[in-house]
Amino acid sequence: MEKLLGEFSIGLFFWQTVLFLALLFLLRKFAWKPILNAVNEREDGIRTALESAENAKKEMENLQADNEKLLKEARAEREAMLKEAREIKNKMIDDAKEEAKEEAGKLIAAAQASIETEKKAAIAELKSQVANLSIEIAEKVVRDELSNKEKQVKLVESMLGEATLN
């Protein structure tokens, strides 16, 4: 340090100071402002990018919440539709069963009525045939009884014996 102080020259110091100040002036005029502007622009760009990223993050959270809400609504709607479809299916099955029971009841009633009608017709036919047979038998018996004179007299006497006078 002493050597430095021993060799100190004011003229050299003056020119070094002038050159240093000129260099500072030139740097300030031509380099410092563009560098500071670039740094400020970079800082603004980074700030804007961070704000955009934060906004995008918030928007993504909102979209995700909306998506969850839509999914829940869609699931609830699907469940409601499935429940309604099950109810409609069960109602259709119950209606079909009820209709089948009614139809079966009608068919059974119609069959019973048909059977009853056929039964009455058969009974009437049977009565008619029995009456015809009875008449034919009675006719044959009466012919046989009336063909013989002796049997006719016995028949009249037995009938008279059975008949009581009032």
Block means of pLDDT (10 residues each) for the chain, 166 residues, are 72 92 87 85 94 94 93 95 95 94 93 93 88 79 71 75 63
**So what's the pLDDT on residue 164?**
62
**So what's the pLDDT on residue 96?**
93
Q: How many angstroms separate the CA atoms of 145 and 140, rounded? A: 8
131-152 as b/e, with b when 16 or more CB fall inside 10 Å? eeeeeeeeeeeeeeeeeeeeee
Residue ranges of domains in the chain? 10-162
